Amino acid sequence: MNEIIITFPDGATKNFAAGTSFFAIASSISPRLAQASLAAKVGETLHDISLPCASSCSLQFVTKDSPEGLEIIRHSTAHVLAMAVKKLWPTAKVAIGPVIKDGFFYDIELPEGVKIGENDLALMEGEMKGIIAAAPPVVREVYSRNDAYQAFQQLGETYKEEIISAIPASESISTYKIGQWMDLCRGPHVPTTKFLGIFKLTSVAGAYWRGDSSKTMLTRIYGTAWANKQDLAAYLERLEEAKRRDHRVIGKQLDLFSFHSEATAHPFFHPRGAFIFQQLVSFMRRSNEKYGFQEVNTPLMMSVDLWHKSGHYDNYRENMYFTKVDDHLAAIKPMNCPGHCLVYKNRAKSYRELPFKIAEFGRVHRHEKSGVVGGLFRVRSFVQDDAHLFCQAEDVLPMITMLLTQIEEVYRGLGFEQYHMELSTRPDKYIGELEVWEKAELALKNALEQSGKLYKLNPGDGAFYGPKIDFHLVDAIGRSWQCGTIQLDFSMPERFELSYVSKENEQRRPVMIHRAVLGSVERFMGIFIENCAGHFPLWIAPLQAQIITIGQAHEAYAQKVYDQLSAAGIRGALDTRNEKLGYKIREAQVNKYPYMIVLGDQEVSNGTISPRHSSGKQLTPMTVEQFIILLQEALQ
């Protein structure tokens, strides 16, 4: 029998007969390792631990404590979920059940008349625990495509049939059985359900099959699974904290914004919410001025011819709104960039005027599907803090470097100390020449590497007109949010025939750089609310100090304090209602005012105030003038 050489992570090698199972190889090292291994990793490919090893390779074993092991646990738990649902509702049809960040989901078509909600999660969990406790093996089987199709056809699993139909006839297909229940999957999976059991089903939602609203609405069941109970408990606590920070709940509680059926997925900002929104815009506007951007304003609706020229009609029209103006088709803008190209082109440019830097807080409209809109995070109308730089090719590197500095400065100024970047390259659907794309991708890569900042490569996720750098903020509870972007574009200047006169007196194409820092101001506001849990920094808080009277005898002094604060530019609120003091204090706490000032006999007598910070810290008594100085220093 042929021998194979296995190289282990520490560099040691060992000979085995060809076809020895990965489990047997692990057992030869340590029976304990074999029992703890979920899978085998050959190079970068994962395999079921029960499979034979056919050739010499570098091999390591995957346990539950590794990222790969955790993914396998989650994937296998998703299969157990589908099996449990089939046991509860035998005529249900299962679709897909992938691993996602921190968990998994499974899309299922339930029998007619069956609707489940979060109250049913415990029922499904109980069924899953029963399956896991029996510790059945998870067995891989391989079929020809036709045999696999017939097997799932007999089971009535129409979604699996559709998936198999798209696979070439020459390919073999793997399935996995837990006991007698079979599912379609590439794997790998745990060898037995004894590795599972530390999980929690978290929510139920609707999802169209393949994301197509014309197809069946399925029930999507979400869950999470972990290697140990401590990690599960910590994750569930993070979920609870996320619920406490939910911007939709805080927005209603603080009267910041609302949504109405008369304008689906379009937020209505109330006075306090509009104030925060404008403060964010003003903060960004000051940064733009510092970095030399001139602000412009372009029309909300423009001829469809413009969108043909820009490429948006061919690549983005399903997300656009159209209307007729004077018998001519027009579109409401989904992006600001084509309008900025027209601004650039309006007057001939010399190389001396480059880089030409313009910015706009432009309202755009995108027809997002009803199933994906939610709160401020996904709306159909929003303001982008767009900017576009038109520069010479030799200036791309310093311009990208400048933008990296600006974006970092803005994020830190808004309380986000951590972020990471992704370089997204050419997608399957793109415009322009391949050579131009490669040139653009290299320019962004060089800028990132010269900046010395860490980044992750995200192949195939660029915009249709150019590669990009995406910025992912990390919030106070460790969640990541994609916000800013820098996109390099050689195609749009070509499409709009943009030019400048070079030093050599020749007509040349400028390079166009797209830049957004906040991204959607609405979405960023939602992230900002959740990051600070509604306890806004003093500079952006709609009301900075709530003045509360204990009784009617203190109203005159309270009015005097209020007037002094207002004259100094401090945004105060006055509560002189004839309500119990405890009620007024609790209401002020719910409203999360940065400072609360309770006025009674002692304060009136001494001509002082005793402010209390929203953190609960009680300040020593001081004069109103001293308090104003304290706040003004904090605002600098």
Cα–Cα distance between 218 and 35 in angstroms, integer? 38
Residue 425's SS3 state is coil
Q: Token pair for residue 3? A: 């021998």
Which amino acid does the sequence have at 504? Answer: E
Catalytic residue (choose from 79, 185, 220, 384): 384
- How far apart are the C-alpha atoms of 217 and 209, rounded to whole Å? 6
**Active-site choice (337, 391, 483, 532):** 337
Respond yes or no: is residue 86 known to be catalytic: no
Distance CA 527, CA 524 (A): 5
* Known catalytic residue at 367: no
The rounded distance, in Å, linking the Cα atoms of 146 and 81 is: 27
Phi, psi of 84 (to 5 degrees): -65, -40
Q: Reply yes or no on whether 337 is catalytic.
A: yes
Would you list the DSSP string of 521-564? HHHHHHHHHHHHTT---TTT-S--EEEEESSGGGHHHHHHHHHH
Tokens 């733009």 belong to residue = 288
Look up 384 and say whether it is catalytic. yes
Active site residue 514: yes
Q: Considering only CA atoms, which of 316, 263, 266, 581 is closest in space to residue 429?
A: 316
Tell me which H or E stretch contains 406. Answer: helix 396-413
CA distances from 253 to 229, 533, 546, 592 (A): 34, 12, 16, 10
Q: How far apart are the first and last CA of the chain?
A: 79
Marked catalytic residue, from 340, 366, 378, 380: 366
Q: Are the beta carbons of 73 and 197 closer than 8 angstroms?
A: no
Look up tokens 């409209």; give the residue.
365
Contacts of residue 507, defined as CB under 8 A and 6 or more positions apart, other chains included, come to: 499, 500, 501
Cβ-based neighbours of 582, under 8 Å, separated by 6 or more: none
Nearest Cα to Cα of residue 488 among 428, 557, 558, 404: 404
String of DSSP letters for 316-383? HGGG-EEEEETTEEEEE-S-SHHHHHHHHHTS--BGGG-SEEEEEEEEEE----TTT-BTTTB-SEEE
- Catalytic annotation, pick one of 93, 426, 468, 612: 468
The residue annotated as part of the active site, out of 220, 245, 388, 515, is: 388
Q: How far is CA 447 from CA 79, 100, 170, 404, in A?
A: 44, 31, 45, 9
Within 10 angstroms of residue 460's Cβ, the number of other Cβ atoms is 11
Is 55:45 a contact under the CB 8 Å cutoff?
no
Residue 369 bears catalytic tag: no
Q: How many residues can be counted in the chain? A: 636
158, two tokens = 């129409």
- Measured between alpha carbons, how far is 130 from 132 in angstroms, rounded to an integer? 5
**Residue 93 bears catalytic tag:** no
The residues carrying an active-site annotation are 337, 366, 384, 386, 388, 468, 514
